[in-house]
């Protein structure tokens, strides 16, 4: 997979893409993340990429011309499945969306900054807008890093255990069950005996029950489909 991230603050993205699982994905040749400085496409002497908004008001707006030139340059080199804009009013990033995006080959992620981007960019270039939550950040860079991480770890071959990502929270609309490791006893706190039993079917059932319990307690809005008659044991 190839992802181009357009930003006015490239330094913000140096660390997230160069450590841990993202670095492993890049080392294996499974993921390429290209961070592009939007100022390289500015035609002004001082590399300006923002200007005052028409109609007045506080805050600067990212200009359409450098963004359009940047996207045109990128599209001259490859075909993109989506041009994504990180926006607080975009589609909420959920596991299903991450799963879908992980099946694509080429993505552009545009990071907003200042007061936002010229609306014409959203109308004529952006194909998908994504939000990581109902709050506002200083820019789209950290949100873009979250999206890349959510996608990259799903690529086949990135994780050492191919089934690990499939057992994460939200893959089946449930919170993941509790997990334990050695020692089995610490300060009198014991690991549930079922996990030490070696009985695969019973362990699987315990994990499902714990997932359902935890989801009902912590994220009840996710539990509706599991309460439907078709999902109850007979």
Please give the helix or strand (H or E) that residue 68 lies within, else none.
helix 64-75
- What per-residue confidence (pLDDT) applies to 234? 38
Question: Residue 137's pLDDT band (boundaries 50, 70, 90)?
Answer: very high
Averaged pLDDT for residues 63-84: 98
User: Which ranges of 90-233 would DSSP assign to H, the alpha helix?
Assistant: 95-101, 119-124, 141-152, 200-218, 224-227
Q: What is the mean pLDDT of the chain?
A: 91
Q: What is the rounded radius of gyration, in angstroms, for the C-alpha atoms of the chain?
A: 22
SS3 31: coil
Handedness of CA 101, 104, 105, 108 (dihedral sign): negative
Enumerate domains of the chain plus CATH numbers. 2-152 (3.40.1280.10), 169-231 (1.10.1270.20)
Instruction: Tell me: pLDDT of 25 over 80.
Output: yes
pLDDT of residue 173: 78
3-state DSSP assignment of residue 2: strand
Instruction: Report d(CA 91, CA 61) in Å as an integer.
Output: 22
The residues pairing with 74 across neighbouring beta strands, listed in sequence order, are: none
Distance CA 153, CA 188 (A): 36
Grade residue 125 by pLDDT with cuts at 50, 70 and 90: very high
94-110, pLDDT tens digit by residue?
999 999 999 999 999 99
Please check the confidence at residue 82 and state whether its pLDDT lies above 50.
yes
Cα 42 from Cα 46, distance rounded (Å): 8
Token pair 């006893």 is found at: 185
């Amino acid at each position: 997979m190839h992802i181009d991230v357009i930003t006015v603050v490239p330094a913000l993205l140096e660390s997230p893409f160069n450590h841990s699982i993202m670095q492993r994905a890049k080392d294996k040749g499974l993921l390429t993340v290209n961070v592009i400085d939007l100022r390289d496409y500015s035609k002004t002497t001082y590399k300006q990429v923002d200007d005052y908004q028409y109609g007045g008001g506080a805050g600067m707006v990212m200009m359409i011309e450098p963004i359009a030139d940047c996207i045109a340059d990128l599209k001259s080199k490859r075909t993109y499945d989506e041009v994504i804009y990180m926006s607080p009013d975009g589609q909420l990033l959920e596991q299903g969306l991450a799963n879908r995006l992980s099946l694509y080959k080429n993505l552009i992620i545009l990071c907003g900054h200042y007061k936002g981007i010229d609306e014409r960019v959203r109308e004529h270039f952006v194909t998908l807008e994504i939000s990581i939550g109902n709050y506002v950040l200083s820019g789209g860079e950290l949100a873009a890093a979250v999206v890349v991480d959510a996608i990259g770890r799903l690529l086949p071959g990135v994780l050492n255990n191919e089934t690990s990502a499939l057992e994460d929270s939200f893959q089946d609309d449930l919170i993941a069950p509790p997990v334990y490791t050695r020692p089995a006893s610490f300060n009198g706190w014991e690991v549930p005996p079922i996990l030490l039993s070696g009985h695969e079917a019973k362990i699987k059932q315990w994990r499902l029950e714990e997932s359902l319990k935890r989801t009902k307690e912590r994220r009840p809005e996710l539990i509706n489909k599991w309460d439907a008659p078709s999902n109850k044991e007979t």
